[in-house]
């Protein structure tokens, strides 16, 4: 007599495979959505930084020696924001310590740029009222690491949930198939 096919095993394999495929799709969609929205939040942060910098620099920048730099503040929960302030004529007026001397971006708005071997996400804004060009930027490697870490943290419940779903499916299938297995034993017996 050939090998007996197990209805329980067959159902569990089909249900777990289907659930895993759906779960994987949900995980990928969650990761991509979290990455997209976190990047938008960081872009909004750059815009806000430029507005604050415009308000401060509009008054202070002309009281400091041209080309002055300030130390960069690092915090374990944030990312360093690098900034540059230029006159409308292109003269460097103020910059954070990590910022290169030359402008990170020459076009208004957002740009991904590479300078001196470092990739940046920069936002350039002209403050005509104060006659300033403001550039704020995040290092792309730091930004991508924060985005990736945030998105991956969202995936942890999904990864831990899959084995729990597997156990729940095993219990449900076992209970559902038990009466059929008893009937099959009676017929065989």
176-188 pLDDT tens trace: 888 888 887 888 8
Lowest mean pLDDT among 75-84, 98-107, 108-117, 157-166: 75-84
14-63 pLDDT tens trace: 999 998 899 889 888 888 888 888 889 999 999 999 999 888 887 776 66
> If you search the block for the tokens 């940046």, which residue do you land on?
120
The 8 Å CB, 24+ separation contacts for 126-131 are: 126/88, 127/54, 127/57, 127/58, 128/88, 129/58, 130/54, 130/57, 130/58, 131/87, 131/88
Entry pTM: 0.70
């Amino acid at each position: 007599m050939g090998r007996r096919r197990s209805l329980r095993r067959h159902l569990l394999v089909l249900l777990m495979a289907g659930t895993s495929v759906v779960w994987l799709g949900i995980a990928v969609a969650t990761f991509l959505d979290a990455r997209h929205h976190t990047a938008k939040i960081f872009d909004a942060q750059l815009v806000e930084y430029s507005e604050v910098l415009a308000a401060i620099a509009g008054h202070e920048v002309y009281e400091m020696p041209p080309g002055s730099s300030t130390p960069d503040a690092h915090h374990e929960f944030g990312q360093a924001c690098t900034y540059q302030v230029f006159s409308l004529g292109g003269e460097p007026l103020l910059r954070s310590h990590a910022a290169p001397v030359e402008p990170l971006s020459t076009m208004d708005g957002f740009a991904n740029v590479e300078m001196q071997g470092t990739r940046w996400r920069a936002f350039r804004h002209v403050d005509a009222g104060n006659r300033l060009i403001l550039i704020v930027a995040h290092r792309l490697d730091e930004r991508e690491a924060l985005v990736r870490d945030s998105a991956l943290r969202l995936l942890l419940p999904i990864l831990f949930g899959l084995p729990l779903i597997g156990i729940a499916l095993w219990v449900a299938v076992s209970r559902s198939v038990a009466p059929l297995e008893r009937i099959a034993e009676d017929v065989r017996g």
